[in-house]
Structure 1
Amino acid sequence: MKNSLVFTISMLLLACVVFLGIGFQKLTVYENPYSDDEYGLADEEDAVNAYVGGDAYNYMINASQATAYFVLGGFSLLSAIALFILNSVQMITRKNAVEKINDSTIDDV
């Protein structure tokens, strides 16, 4: 494989891991210490993945964002797999073409 292709596949796999990690972080890490206050965030430093005052709304926002990150991670993984398969098919096709050329030149001699 060419170095640029290996680099591209590696970056897509790294992006997959990062996106999946961010998605799981959105689902599992939530802290809103002021959820009982009148739907307002009094101290944003203590809030983690909290955007509005209500817990249910924050869970819906985090679930939507996690889904988007999972889709990005899956797309990155599928792109890396597709590039690997296409490169393998191309290498096999080239190898067969070279063998046919070599066989035809041997028969001509």
Structure 2
Amino acid sequence: MKIFAQISYGLSGLFVLLGLYKLYAYKNDDYDNLINAYVEGDAWNMLINKGFATSYFLLALVCVVTGTSIFVYEKLNAIHRTLKGEPEPIVEDSSDDVEYN
């Protein structure tokens, strides 16, 4: 499950970069070289890009919370197994099989 947390953190980094791109990359010179321009007015384009950036930042926050929740769940699960007296699972990176001591 640790891989899912790492993927979640990676996605959050991607969403932050996409949000920053929407905020700072803008060009509305002519109709051939438009960057993050949707309508003719600059103010409207900035409002649209601000909405997109906010959405990407919110997705990044959700991914960070999800990844952190997975790490906390794994740690609490390990503590619970220790208190119950169950052996710790040994997980090798090369295979998905779980062995017990």
State the TM bucket, normalised to the shorter chain.
0.7 to 0.9
Are 2:70 and 1:70 aligned? no
Aligned residues: 86
What are the equivalent positions in structure 2 for 1:22-101 lying under 5 Å apart?
A: 22-34=18-30, 42-43=31-32, 46-98=33-85
CA shift at 1:13, angstroms?
Answer: 0.5
Q: Give the CA deviation at 1:60.
A: 0.3
Higher helix share: 1
- Determine which of 8, 23, 34 is the counterpart of 2:4: 8
- The Cα shift of 1:73 comes to 0.3
Q: Deviations over 1:57-82 (max 9, x none)?
A: 00000000000000000000000001
Q: TM-score, normalised by structure 1?
A: 0.76
Greater Cα radius of gyration, structure 1 or 2: 1
Q: Distance in 1 between matches of 2:5 and 2:72?
A: 11
Deviation per residue, 1:3-33 (Å, 9 max, x gap): xx12101110110000000001100111100
Aligned to 2:40, the other structure's residue is in SS state coil
Q: Matched residues in 2 for 1:80 and 1:9: separation?
A: 4
Structure 1: how far apart are the matches of 2:4 and 2:77? 17
Identity %: 30
User: Would the aligned equivalents of 2:2 and 2:70 in 1 still touch at CA under 8 Å?
Assistant: no
Structure 2: stretches of 5+ with no match in the other structure: 87-101
